[in-house]
Amino acid sequence: MANLTVNGKAHDVDADPNTPLLWVLREWIGMSGTKYGCGIAQCGACTVHIDGVVTRSCVTPLSLAAGKQITTIEGLAENGNLHPVQKAWLEQDVPQCGYCQSGMIMAVAALLKDKPKPSDADIDSAITNICRCGTFQQVRAAIHAAASA
């Protein structure tokens, strides 16, 4: 049995310790905002924060997440107020199909916490998430908009 805290709420999960955190979030806890893309840590669709650190949940076993604070896209807004990155995403019309966007937003939220005013080079090195719809220019514009909000 593993105890996880997801978006501030404790959960006891009776799953194999090797189960990927992504599966636990989606199938056991019912948080389907975090997406499955590649399953091999390449695309970033499954990005969450573990103790504030950006993490690809498809390759993170439950055993490594136990006892930690996990934040998913469902927990990014606070007290009903969207996170500045979510607001910028809406204002800049970033999502196309939307599939990659929860992971993208989680990665960007972590970047802005570390670097409140990232350069284009900072963005290129930190945001390696893949978007099949190719919204990369809008992503960059929205990151700068969120950074100056």
The residues with which 77 forms a beta bridge, in sequence order, are none
**In terms of CB distance, is 3 or 93 closer to ligand FES?**
93
- Closest distance between ligand FES and the C-beta of residue 48, in Å? 10
Could you say which DSSP state residue 82 is in?
P
Binding site for ligand FES (CB under 6 A): 36-39, 41-46, 56, 58, 95-101, 131-133, 135
**In terms of CB distance, is 7 or 42 closer to ligand FES?**
42
- Closest distance between ligand FES and the C-beta of residue 90, in Å? 14
Sign of CA dihedral 96, 97, 100, 103: positive
* Angle of CA points 115, 131, 39, to nearest 5°: 95
Q: Where are the beta strands (DSSP E) in 63-149?
A: 69-71
- Closest distance between ligand FES and the C-beta of residue 80, in Å? 25
**In terms of CB distance, is 124 or 148 closer to ligand FES?**
124
Sign of CA dihedral 113, 115, 120, 124: negative
- Closest distance between ligand FES and the C-beta of residue 34, in Å? 9
- Closest distance between ligand FES and the C-beta of residue 49, in Å? 14
Q: How far apart are CA 15 and CA 72, in angstroms?
A: 19
**In terms of CB distance, is 18 or 79 closer to ligand FES?**
18
Which strand ranges, in their side-by-side order, compose the sheet holding 9-13? 9-13, 2-6, 69-71, 47-50, 53-56
**In terms of CB distance, is 32 or 42 closer to ligand FES?**
42
